[in-house]
Amino acid sequence: MRLENITVTLRPRQPWEAVDLGCAMVRRDYGRIILLWVCTVLPLWVLVCVLLRSAPVWIPLVVWWLKPLYDRVPLFFLSRAAFGERPGFAETLKQWPRLWLKNCLPALFWRRLSFIRSFALPAQMLEGLSGGAANRRIKTLAMDGGGSGLSLSYVFSKIELAAWIGLMAGTYDLLPEASQPDWSGLSSALDVENSVPRGFLWWGAACYMFIVTLIEPFYVGAGFALYLNCRTRIEGWDVEMAFRRMAARLTSGAAAMVIALLAFVGAGTSVQAQMDINPDLRRSLSELEGNIQKAQKDSAVKSDPAKAVEEVLKDPEFEIHKIKSKLWVPEFKSNKKSSHDMPSLGFLDLIGKGLFWVLVVGLTGWLVVYLVRNRHLFASRSVSKAPVRAPKVLMGMNITRESLPDDIVAAARAAWAAGDVKEALSLLYRGSLSWLVNRRRVPISDSDTEEDCLMQVIQAGERPEADYFRQLTGAWVQVAYAVLPVSDAEMGALCDQWPFIEKGGAA
């Protein structure tokens, strides 16, 4: 890889400008890249489809997981094309096994979920690093371009997902009716592999492989361009190229000067005779020799950077200008106080310090008094040992013992048999709340809703009571608010499983 053979302009770019450069590099040779992709990736996909023919739902996942292998052949071609060497088809296929086997296990296992995969791949493949050396190199490059590599992976993943869904949605009507899934029952089915037709799964896998073929080369090219931009910024490739072009120009100028000097010396013998006869010719040749010596001196100065810098600094433009100013400094200080001197401010200093400490003490005292008066705000509320005052009315329902019958379950069965569903569930619900509030001492307040009451019962810790009350609350909300019927079996279960057995359930 010779830096002077690079075919792109090296200069520090913004990250997304470098991404655009990488996509332009892929567009320039997109036909060759796709041909190499088909010859190297398509056989692997055929093998994956054959092995997973009984479970096509897993094919897109396997295709996605093997992406680090696909990226290597396009990166090999782009890296050679960027430096003026476009490898042929046979040459690239010859390198194919070596490219896929190099660092294969790290790429498919512990580095597979790297978010800077396309940015780090050139450091692993083109610089010939592996193990700890590759990790250190990637960390060094990531300090400058890691954030851009992360953003690149995020954007391309969204583009790939959107393109895959869009292609499947656009071609859905082309599928046979037998291959189209039943979307109404698919949401409740847990076995996707058996509930979705196999034809639809195969079509989804084919669409995903097509989308990866279209988009993945651009992802590789964008990551390679970010890698080049990062090395240009860190290692100063653009400055190195400028110095190389400057050295080439100076070398060609010195060679031309030497050729002119040799030609002049060869012709000197024939001109010597005329110089003795013609004084004007002698004078012209002297001036020409002086100009040649001056040109040689300038060339020698240019070939030596230190001398060139000295010659440039001798110009008047680089003259250092100095400004001189005068400052009057008294030779001595008078011990006598002037009549214009300010009076001493020592007493003001004492007053300021006193006010400061008074303010500090006052604020401290106020803070202590505030904390003492509001100490209840900082007390733990997890366990309250204070007695809880049982409410008498909850959600507009009277839950006192006097408002409930002696045998709540029997009264609820009688109301259910009479067709009064709401009254039957209301008796069970009010009786449960009465027992929980008065017997269990569950901290339920008169402003709690059904959901608040359920949460308090669950936090009380009695699992049988909490399970029953959850079932009863669901049935009560269903009848009281949604106006939906409750089955006879559910009502019978609520009466049979009544856990509040003391005195029929009343407190």
Q: Is residue 378 part of a domain?
A: no
289 in the same domain as 259 = yes
Could you tell me the CA-to-CA distances from 324 to 221, 321, 330, 331 in Å, in that order? 60, 10, 20, 21
Distance separating alpha carbons of residues 22 and 16, to the nearest angstrom: 10
Same domain, 199 and 263: no
Claim to verify: residue 170 and residue 100 sit in the same structural domain: yes
Whether residues 227 and 250 share a domain: the answer is: no
8-state DSSP, 503 = G
Domain stop point among 297, 313, 329: 313
Secondary structure class of 475 (helix, strand, coil): helix
Residue 363: inside a domain: no
Residue 171 lies in a domain: yes
Rounded mean pLDDT, 414-419 = 86
The confidence score (pLDDT) of residue 212 equals 92
Question: What residues contact residue 503 under an 8 Å CB cut-off, 6+ apart?
Answer: 406
| 479 contacts 406 by C-beta, under 8 angstroms | no
Question: What gap in Å lies between CA 116 and CA 122, rounded to an integer?
Answer: 11
Contact 101, 107 (CB under 8 A): no
The DSSP code for 269 is H
Q: Are residues 206 and 289 in the same domain?
A: no
Q: Is residue 351 part of a domain?
A: no
CB of 460 closer than 8 Å to CB of 440: yes
The reported pTM is 0.47
What distance in Å separates the CA atoms of residue 383 and residue 361, rounded to the nearest whole number? Answer: 37
Task: State the total domains in the chain.
Answer: 3
Based on the domain organization, do 108 and 149 belong to the same domain? yes
With b meaning 16 or more CB within 10 Å and e meaning fewer, what string describes 124-142? bbeeebeeeebbeebeebb
pLDDT above 80 (res 286): no
pLDDT of residue 138: 78
Closest CA to 426 of 479, 487, 500: 479
CA-based nearest residue to 505, from 419, 416, 421, 410: 410
> Is position 196 within any domain?
yes
Q: What is the mean pLDDT of the chain?
A: 75
Give the C-alpha separation, 233 to 340, whole Å: 64
> Residue 452 belongs to what domain range?
393-505
pLDDT digits (tens, 9 = 90+) for 39-71: 888 989 999 999 988 888 889 999 999 888 888
Residue 63's pLDDT is what? Answer: 92
Question: Domain for residue 333, yes or no?
Answer: no
Position 431 in a domain: yes
Residue 256 lies in a domain: yes
Out of 268, 288, 313, a domain closes at 313
Residues 430 and 499 in one domain: yes
Which residues, in sequence order, are CB contacts of 271 under 8 Å at separation 6+?
A: 281, 285
| pLDDT (0 to 100) of residue 90 | 79
Q: What is the pLDDT of residues 144-182, one digit of tens each?
A: 777 888 888 889 999 999 999 999 888 887 888 777 776
Cα 439 to Cα 390: distance, rounded to the nearest angstrom: 10
Residues 399 and 250 in one domain: no
Neighbours of 378 (CB within 10 A): 7
> Which of 263, 278, 313 finishes a domain?
313
Confidence of residue 274 (pLDDT cuts 50, 70, 90): very low
Give percent above pLDDT 90 in the chain. Answer: 6
Check whether 382 has a pLDDT greater than 50. no
| Burial of residue 250 (number of CB atoms within 10 Å: 0-12, 13-18, 19+) | middle
Bridge pairing between strands 397-398 and 393-394: antiparallel
402: exposed, middle or buried (Cβ count in 10 Å: 0-12, 13-18, 19+): exposed
One domain, residues 214 and 304 = no
Q: Is the dihedral of CA 13, 19, 22, 27 positive or negative?
A: negative
Query: In this structure, are 88 and 227 located in the same domain?
Result: yes
pLDDT at residue 256 tops 60? no
Give the H or E element holding residue 398.
strand 397-398
Spatial neighbors of 152 by CB under 8 A, at least 6 apart, are: 19, 118, 119, 219, 222, 223, 226
- Domain match, 91 and 154 both: yes
**Where does the pLDDT of residue 383 fall: very low under 50, low under 70, confident under 90, or very high at 90 and above?**
very low
- Answer yes or no: do 195 and 59 share one domain: yes
Rg of the chain over Cα atoms, rounded to whole angstroms, equals 45
User: 397 in helix, strand or coil?
Assistant: strand
